[in-house]
Amino acid sequence: MMRFNISLLVVVIALVALLASSSSCFAQQCKNRKTFADPTACTSCTFCTATKSSSCCTAAEDSAASLAASVGQLVSTGCYDLMKMGACAICDPKNQQFVNENGTLVVCKSACQRVVSACGLTSVSCDSMPTTNCWSGALSVVMLWKASLVFMVMMIGVVFML
C-alpha cells in the first residue's frame, strides 16, 4: 500500500509539474504546440470527448491522457474524475489562456488541493501553486504532446510497481 501511495504521489507531482506555469493567449489558438494553431476536430479521440469537435489535442495525446487518468481509478471514482479532468484540460481551446510559452497549463492551488484530497495524497503540498490566472477546473482537457511519452512511461512504471 505504501508503494502505491508513493507511486501515485509521483504521478500527481508529475501531472502538476506538467500542467504548472502561466501566460495570456491569443483568441482560441492552441498554445500547446510549437507553432500556435487553431483547434481542429479530433475524430479519433475517445477519452477527452468533450472537446472532440474542437480540440487542441491529437489522438496520441488523448490516449496518453487516458493512461494518466487510469491510475486514479485505483484510488476512487472521485480521484479518477479529477485526474481525467486534469489530463484532458490542455485539449480544451477555452483553457489556452492558461497555457504558458512552454506549452504547459498553469494549475491553480484549488485544483491541486482537490486532487490531493480526492486521491488521499496527504504528503503533497499545493501551497506554491497560483490562485489567479490559472486553470482551476474544466469539463474537458488533455496533456501536451512533449510530455505524453514521458508520462506514459511513468504510468507504465507505476502499474508494474503495483
The residue type of 61 is E
Q: What share of the chain is helix, strand, coil (3-state, %, to 5)?
A: 50, 5, 45
DSSP 80-101: HHHHHHHHHBTT-GGGGGGB-T
Task: Please report, in tens digits, the pLDDT of each residue of the chain (162 residues total).
Answer: 555 555 554 444 554 444 433 333 345 788 888 788 899 999 999 999 988 899 999 999 999 999 989 988 889 999 999 999 999 998 999 998 998 888 888 999 999 999 999 999 888 899 999 999 999 984 333 333 333 334 444 445 544 555
pLDDT the model gives residue 157: 52
pTM: 0.65
User: How deeply is 64 buried, as exposed, middle or buried, from its count of CB atoms within 10 A (0-12, 13-18, 19+)?
Assistant: buried
Backbone angles phi, psi at 30, to 5 degrees: -80, 115
Instruction: Classify the C-alpha dihedral 110-69-30-16 as positive or negative.
Output: positive
pLDDT the model gives residue 34: 78
Separation CA 59–CA 41 (nearest Å): 10
Pick the closest to residue 39 from 58, 24, 65 (CA basis): 58
